[in-house]
């Protein structure tokens, strides 16, 4: 049987549509799997997602509405996100504050989420850096001018006073520090405060 042009285009559109649906399905299933690992890890760290939010996630997954699944889970997790990272199609990065309240404990760790919107689909390593989380001495800087003159910048008392926090990505299994290529994914970040009172970080 011969296919005319019209039928030929219909066939191409059908095949393309099937491929798009298959990709969307794979993306959703991978996101659900990653979310389950995230929830389990938050439980393990002693900073669980609330029972109500867990139920909302479970209900969303059980409904199998793939079109709304990712968006609904994102809505649930919004309150736990300290900041969001957007990697645009040109791989440029923008960071904005999230909805989580940035309340830390002096001499204690606080746990939050980082949301990454990976529009470029890259699989690079995720790193978090802050001037306030630098070490007072790591071999790459001089303290009060001591040390080799070529051994980096001099760390002053003001620098040390400004370094009031520590932070790290939680990367023990099943979590990781590498972008998977998913459009949306979450990472766990832990912050430690040496000081009390209101402080700022960049």
Spatial strand order in the sheet of 165-169: 93-97, 81-87, 109-118, 184-193, 165-169
> Could you state, in order of their start, the residue ranges of all structural domains in the chain?
5-193
Tens of pLDDT along the chain (202 residues)? 444 555 544 544 444 444 434 445 778 889 999 999 999 999 999 999 999 999 999 999 887 677 788 999 999 999 999 989 999 999 999 999 999 987 777 777 888 999 999 999 999 898 877 665 566 555 545 555 454 555 556 666 666 666 656 778 899 999 988 999 999 999 998 887 765 656 555 5
Give the β-pairing of 142-143 and 109-118.
Answer: unpaired
């Amino acid at each position: 049987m011969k296919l005319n042009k019209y039928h030929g285009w219909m066939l191409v559109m059908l095949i393309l549509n099937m491929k798009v649906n298959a990709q969307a399905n794979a993306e959703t299933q991978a996101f659900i799997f990653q979310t389950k690992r995230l929830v389990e890890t938050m439980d393990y760290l002693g900073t669980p997602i609330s029972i109500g939010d867990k139920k909302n996630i479970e209900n969303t997954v059980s409904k199998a509405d793939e079109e709304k699944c990712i968006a609904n889970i994102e809505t649930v997790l919004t309150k736990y996100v300290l900041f969001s990272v957007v990697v645009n199609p040109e791989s440029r990065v923008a960071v904005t504050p999230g909805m989580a309240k940035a309340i830390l404990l002096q001499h204690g760790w606080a746990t939050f989420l980082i949301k990454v919107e990976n529009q470029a689909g890259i699989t690079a390593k995720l790193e978090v850096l802050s001037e306030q989380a630098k070490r007072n001495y790591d071999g790459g800087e001089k303290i009060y001018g001591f040390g080799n003159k070529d051994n980096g910048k001099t760390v002053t008392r003001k620098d040390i006073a400004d370094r009031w926090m520590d932070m790290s990505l939680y990367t023990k299994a099943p979590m990781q520090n590498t972008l998977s290529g998913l459009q949306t994914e979450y990472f766990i970040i832990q912050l430690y405060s040496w000081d009390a009172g209101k402080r700022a970080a960049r």
